[in-house]
Amino acid sequence: MKEHRISRRDLLKKGTLLALGAPLLNARLMSSSETQSVALPQDFDFWKPDRPLTAVVLGAGNRGNTYSAYSLKFPDELKIVGVAEPIEFRRKRFSDKYKIPEKFQWVTWEHALQIPKFADALIITTPDHLHYGPAMGGLKLGYDMVLEKPISQS
């Protein structure tokens, strides 16, 4: 009896075809009675808050501006009321854009969290290696928060 050996290359080719073809075969074998259509609502009348959610942004760089821009488009849903940013021109530009009073502008997130809670939430957009400190400080003060990953790098 002759031994049939398959090369690694042939194995990869056949495995790839099987992996790509299996979902197609499965979809072909399913009867129409097994499939269900999803009905999407035609009227997107979502719940609206009775007042805007207030937020303090910790980090006024690219991500801070991206998240905060929501408040410009939907001012009845979100209002930015404070900012912490070590780079002065970013802090100034951000504060002007969102009309933040000087008493709610800080150089660091530590300064922002030295006063009692005065907003509903924190939007933490500091560099990734600085996420843990403001998150823990915000939780101690009772803030809700938007915190992107990673929460901590260790």
Q: Quote the pLDDT of residue 48.
A: 72
Q: pLDDT (tens digit, 9 = 90+) per residue, 4-13?
A: 676 777 766 6
Cβ 53 vs Cβ 79: under 8 Å: yes
Q: Quote the pLDDT of residue 9.
A: 72
CATH superfamily of 53-147: NAD(P)-binding Rossmann-like Domain (3.40.50.720)
3-class DSSP state for residue 122?
strand
C-beta pairs of 86-90 under 8 Å, 24+ apart in sequence: 87/60, 87/61, 90/60, 90/61
Strand ranges for the chain from DSSP E: 53-58, 78-84, 105-106, 121-124, 144-147
- Full-model pTM: 0.69
Distance of alpha carbon 42 from the chain centroid: 27
Domain ranges (residues) in the chain: 53-147
Q: pLDDT (tens digit, 9 = 90+) per residue, 91-145?
A: 999 999 999 999 999 999 999 999 999 999 999 999 989 999 999 999 999 999 9
